[in-house]
Structure 1
């Protein structure tokens, strides 16, 4: 029996040209690779289930892939039955109350917090021990911010999100001040907030080294280079990914007429891209390269695509697996 196929399912015979400028670096950072590898190594060593508190990284594709392999994602530890299976904490970090609960329940807990987030936790603790009140620059409700605030006792840390928050800040009058930041913020936005903090509190203590991580900075710099050269920019990433959202904002502020965050090719609104001749493409730090390739393939069905990589930095950062998994792997 003949099959009736709509002409729309075939690519046009004479496709318009499209230059795709791919940002580099893009996609997975060392902390994300470490966290995903931790879940996969635990599954290989112990078999399913492996419990993971919160999404291991903010990417639906990654989470669903690990779920199919036997990972069980929960919001809180009270959703986990009594078990000897591994329980992994996500790359975003957790409040101190979470590992305490894990010890109480005798869980085999594995901490996959990104080492650069752990650095911020340690900074906050040091400031607190030195009797400083800590100001955290970050986004309320983000898991990393919840984890960082949960390193200190209630009231020992104040969260600010904007320059306006700096004016409203009322820290304790009898304490020195210090600040730390979420690792995935906009570099430019954070610089403005920090400048306002220093203007109002000239003696505030700064981090020894920038808290915004190398991967966030590098990906934003690549977008700044590409965005003014293209008609549209696509950032591959999940809506709940802070670093991905910041990339979209950076592209917009750099003058790109159309800047969109999409999880994968099926989410593209093609009405926005019909007349473009140059497309910028990048991916957030929790988005796998396979989704970038999927986006390119989708455009190649509609355009005569020529791909060019625009590189602004080389990344060679590597973080080893959490100690418990390294020790088991060598047995």
Structure 2
């Protein structure tokens, strides 16, 4: 059995920055209550590790960042890597909170681009995932930003004189391509700005280059959009068995039966420590036909 660790994998620069800011904040404000507005990155183990530092995650399904902010009355608030709207930022200041902005630079760049085109009287079509915090922050910028999740959404829009199309940074390249083509077919005066971040793009391209692979494990949180997209791309690429797992202990022995080439990748918000455990377990299995059960040392999750 051949074990193939796919490169690149693990934390992207935006996640590294967010985690480092969280650790720095915990050190700088030992006497303050510290909150993160939603999951700092979409990985529950990273969130749990932050909670051990005294950082409380404020999250509730179906609640916007603006609504979640109502639950924080004092102390420090950390805005997550997914970006934040101006409205939420201003509300936090008005509440007298100490603000730490861990927004990814690529996400912030997309917001700046959207604002620039709005100033030029463009209508902005934003391709994203419904209820994702990154999309939420962009849609909140203006009523002239229109959320697009599928080609059907384009058909509901009027014939605007000038349109700019952009997207959530963690989308699938193939997924947005068909939507962009539909936008181009409808609008004559259109500007296309593909904002899939480089970390997402190169991870997706690495999966597309896999050949003769029987099985792929994507290590990531079910809430991680970029991890889910890696799984989708692998299936579209013809890999017969693809599993999204959170840790090595999710692996089931029957998944490995008849597999000669097994690849491992991970989402951009997945700790390298967890991915390395998956590689270790699979290598051990290839030599012994037995699965290891590994404990998770929380001290290594923010490395």
Q: TM-score, normalised by structure 2?
A: 0.88
Partners of 2:204 and 2:198 in 1: CA distance: 10
Do residues 69 (structure 1) and 53 (structure 2) align? yes
- Count matched residues: 279
Following superposition, the deviation at residue 232 of structure 1 comes to 0.4
User: Secondary structure of 1:302's match?
Assistant: helix
For residues 146-225 of structure 1, what are the structure 2 equivalents within 5 Å? 146-152=136-142, 155-166=143-154, 168-171=155-158, 173=159, 175-207=161-193, 210-225=194-209
Residue 174 to residue 279, structure 1, CA distance change in 2 (3 Å): closer
User: Secondary structure of 2:179's match?
Assistant: helix
Q: What residue in structure 2 maps to residue 101 of structure 1?
A: 91
Superposed CA RMSD in Å reads 1.5
Unaligned 5+ residue runs, structure 2?
60-67, 289-303
CA contact (8 A) 1:187 1:212 kept: yes
Partners of 1:151 and 1:254 in 2: CA distance: 36
Unaligned 5+ residue runs, structure 1?
1-17, 306-331
Which residue of 33, 53, 56 corresponds with 2:37? 53
Which residue of 250, 270, 290 corresponds with 1:267? 250
CA contact (8 A) 2:171 2:226 kept: yes
Partners of 1:169 and 1:38 in 2: CA distance: 41
Following superposition, the deviation at residue 281 of structure 1 comes to 0.5
1:116-175 Cα distance to aligned partner (Å, 9 max, x none): 0011111111111111111001111111110111122xx311111123333x2313x464
Do residues 230 (structure 1) and 213 (structure 2) align? yes
Q: What residue in structure 1 maps to residue 227 of structure 2?
A: 244
Q: What residue in structure 2 maps to residue 325 of structure 1?
A: none
1:82-108 Cα distance to aligned partner (Å, 9 max, x none): 23xx21100001222211111111111
CA contact (8 A) 1:39 1:50 kept: no
Do residues 286 (structure 1) and 272 (structure 2) align? no
Q: What residue in structure 2 maps to residue 324 of structure 1?
A: none
CA contact (8 A) 2:160 2:187 kept: no
Following superposition, the deviation at residue 303 of structure 1 comes to 1.7
For residues 11-160 of structure 1, what are the structure 2 equivalents within 5 Å? 18-47=1-30, 49-75=33-59, 76-83=68-75, 86-152=76-142, 155-160=143-148
The more displaced of 41-50 and 63-72 is 41-50
Quick one: higher RCO (CA 8 Å, sep 6+), 1 or 2? 1
User: Secondary structure of 1:110's match?
Assistant: strand
